[in-house]
Amino acid sequence: MRTADRRERVLQLLRRRADWTVAALASEVAVSRRTILRDLDGLRESGFELATFSGPGGGVRLNPTSVLITSQLRTDEVVALILSVAIARAAGTVPFAAEADGALAKIEQALPAARADELRACTERILVGEPSAGSAPATMIDPNLVGAFEAAFVATRLLAFSYRAHSGRTTQRLVEPHGLLVRPPHWYVIGWDTAKHAPRLFRADRINDPVPTDQSFTARPRDLVTRACPDARPAISSAASGGE
- CA torsion angle 210 213 216 222 (round to 10): 10
Answer yes or no: pTM beyond 0.95.
no
Domains of the chain, residue spans: 3-62, 75-241
> Per mean pLDDT, which range of 26-40, 77-91, 163-177, 189-203 is the poorest?
77-91
Mean pLDDT of 189-207: 94
More confident residue, 80 or 171: 171
Confidence of residue 237 (pLDDT cuts 50, 70, 90): very low
Would you state the pLDDT for residue 52? 79
CATH topology of domain 3-62: Arc Repressor Mutant, subunit A (1.10.10)
Average model confidence (pLDDT) for the chain?
A: 80
Would you state the pLDDT for residue 71? 43
> Per mean pLDDT, which range of 30-34, 89-93, 183-187 is the poorest?
89-93
In this structure, are residues 239 and 101 in contact, taking their beta carbons and an 8 Å threshold? Answer: yes
More confident residue, 132 or 2: 2
In tens, the pLDDT along 96-137 reads: 555 666 666 666 666 667 777 887 788 788 888 887 776 667
In this model, does residue 73 exceed pLDDT 90? no
Rounded Cα distance between 25 and 20, Å, is: 7
Mean pLDDT of 198-222: 93
In tens, the pLDDT along 14-71 reads: 988 888 999 899 999 999 999 999 999 888 877 788 887 766 555 888 876 665 554 4
